[in-house]
Chains A and B, each alone.
Chain A
């Protein structure tokens, strides 16, 4: 088996037992890596109905066959678990030296179960693992904890750490690396916290054996050169994803005032051009030549790494038009180890709830001091912050205002308003982790191709994007941005994959793996919902009520809103093309055709399947 190390490291923190599993080539070819490995491991080893914060839940760190090898933006890792925020499948993708370190240490994945009695961290080096005390790290913010770990294990080590939010089980706590990288917005950080696991650190010096080293080196060098030749490259290197603020404003999709509007009057104060004026530099993930981590100094003079999602969610969506203050909120969120997207959505829900009299005290849009105080309360789990720390689904069921709790299946919407974007709303609705743009960022295509339509073509496009973004890039594991932002063709990835593995796969082979994984993940959701005594239904794939009921009141598209009947029809087209029944549950025949007969048999114990 070339390209894969063929080994998965298992650690039980309760018993301190460490095992190395050698997996088969068949497993590698059926699930490829990253999300594929994670989904199958969680399906097989998390008992149905497990409490996500219990020792029985698993934490999976999974690389793919491209991870850490020469090639465009391959310094990435998937972190996955049964989500404490959604109680369904959850994963995230993080760029980090830990990705390279894990592969060089000889593992394609690390799986953690159990719970340590006292705070610990996991140290993995060249095929060996140790569980070490983290009592001196517990309570530290993520940046300080990582610095201490790198002082001890060397600057070349890769570390994944949690901050106070993970320790206090904030349901959307993330894993942090390199002081600004954050992954696992479904609450992977909280699961680490529940296991008393402060960090995972990798040091590796071994290489991964590949099928054709010469071809890989040539393809890598050529693809890096190709990226730099693209006309988008210069602008990308100046603004990165921050250019999307202006783009979203012009297309009326910039989330504003808790997704009530798609335009923000002060967008020019927080957009890419505003950022360029105060930009201090940029940072990237390993193996990347289009670094997107633009950093500025915030209003306290501290470094803050900005991108579109965190500036939109902590800026326009809260009515804050001051980039230096948005940068402070963003930097604090990273230090606390909490997801900026969920945090922005929860805070904006709280502002709207306060204005509807649900919180006692009234908070105004853009009131930075009150918003910051509320954010601190969430991380400290103080007062109403304790309820808000549980996420939008649970908070709105306790406090009220569910019609403006902007989430799907518990995971907050990321930074695109969908009043006039039914395809993007579908993408959020059927995303495999709850509302997120990662899998099918259709909105750019949609605004140019009949944005008010609810067509079969749109459903088909969502599936195509899911196969590429959520399938290929999440299994290889490599960053999708060279393909998305400068148009590096998918063929480069196919050729690199084949050089690494010695296989002769085409796009359709990767698409079949993607479909297998999507169905496995959907089966996981249905199994967990059913095992927890909750009913699975197609309404779970609907976006929040606000977009149907409350039209835009500002901008060129004022009056626009989603049509609930047509949205449901669009969802039906998607189900039909996926081979899912009217409930959005995979048909028995679909699972069998994808080689998931064992999953079908297991799922039938929980729910009646349509043939």
Chain B
């Protein structure tokens, strides 16, 4: 799932990816190229709502959230 302006870059707020049962995939491989290009320092990665990294491995059923750094005022 993409948040804030990252959804503009990815062209979607949510993307469902099929992963074979028992297989695992790196978070990096699931994320739109235009978002990855920003670099990890520009992103906040949550896997199943807990802080994670682009190199983490995920499996079928996991939720990956990619958030930008925002200022909020």
Is B9 at the interface (CB under 8 A from chain A)? yes
Known: A244-B73, A308-B73. A251 touches B44 (CB 8 A): yes
Instruction: Mark interface residues in B37-68 (1 if CB within 8 Å of A CB, else 0).
Output: 01001011110111100000000000001011
Complex formed: what's the CA distance from A416 to B45 in Å? Answer: 19
Known: A451-B51, A556-B49. A444 touches B69 (CB 8 A): yes
Is A445 at the interface (CB under 8 A from chain B)? yes
Known: A244-B73, A246-B3, A447-B44. A232 touches B68 (CB 8 A): yes
Which residues of A from 264 to 322 have beta carbons under 8 Å from B?
307-309
B69:A448 contact, CB within 8 angstroms? yes
**How far, in Å, is B69 (CB) from chain A's closest CB?**
4
Instruction: Mark interface residues in A191-205 (1 if CB within 8 Å of B CB, else 0).
Output: 000000000000000
Q: How large is the interface on A (under 10, 10 to 19, 20 to 34, 35 or more residues)?
A: 20 to 34
| B-side interface mostly | mixed
Closest Cβ neighbor of B43 among chain A residues: A448
Q: Which residues of A contact B73 (CB under 8 A)?
A: 241, 244, 307-309, 437, 441, 481
Instruction: Mark interface residues in B20-40 (1 if CB within 8 Å of A CB, else 0).
Output: 000000000000000000100
Q: Which residues of B contact A241 (CB under 8 A)?
A: 71-73
A447:B70 contact, CB within 8 angstroms? no
A231:B8 contact, CB within 8 angstroms? yes
Complex formed: what's the CA distance from A81 to B67 in Å? Answer: 38
Q: Which residues of B contact A232 (CB under 8 A)?
A: 4-5, 68
A235:B8 contact, CB within 8 angstroms? yes
Known: A231-B5, A235-B5. A247 touches B51 (CB 8 A): no
A247:B67 contact, CB within 8 angstroms? yes
A248:B72 contact, CB within 8 angstroms? yes
Most A CB within 10 A of own CB, among B3, B5, B41, B72 = B72
**How far, in Å, is A243 (CB) from chain B's closest CB?**
5
Is A377 at the interface (CB under 8 A from chain B)? no
Partner of A235, one of B4, B67, B69: B4
Complex formed: what's the CA distance from A445 to B72 in Å? Answer: 13
Partner of A234, one of B8, B48, B69, B71: B8
B51:A235 contact, CB within 8 angstroms? no
Q: Which residues of A contact B9 (CB under 8 A)?
A: 231
Complex formed: what's the CA distance from A33 to B26 in Å? Answer: 50
Complex formed: what's the CA distance from A308 to B70 in Å? Answer: 11
Partner of B70, one of A437, A480, A485, A555: A485
**How far, in Å, is A584 (CB) from chain B's closest CB?**
26
Closest Cβ neighbor of B42 among chain A residues: A487
A241-B73, A447-B44 known; 8 new pairs, CB 8 Å cut-off, are: A231-B9, A234-B5, A241-B72, A243-B3, A248-B72, A250-B46, A448-B44, A556-B50
A-B contacts, 24 listed (Cβ < 8 Å): A232-B4, A234-B8, A235-B4, A235-B8, A236-B5, A239-B4, A243-B4, A244-B71, A246-B3, A247-B4, A247-B67, A247-B68, A250-B65, A250-B67, A308-B72, A416-B72, A444-B72, A445-B69, A448-B41, A448-B44, A448-B69, A481-B73, A555-B49, A556-B48
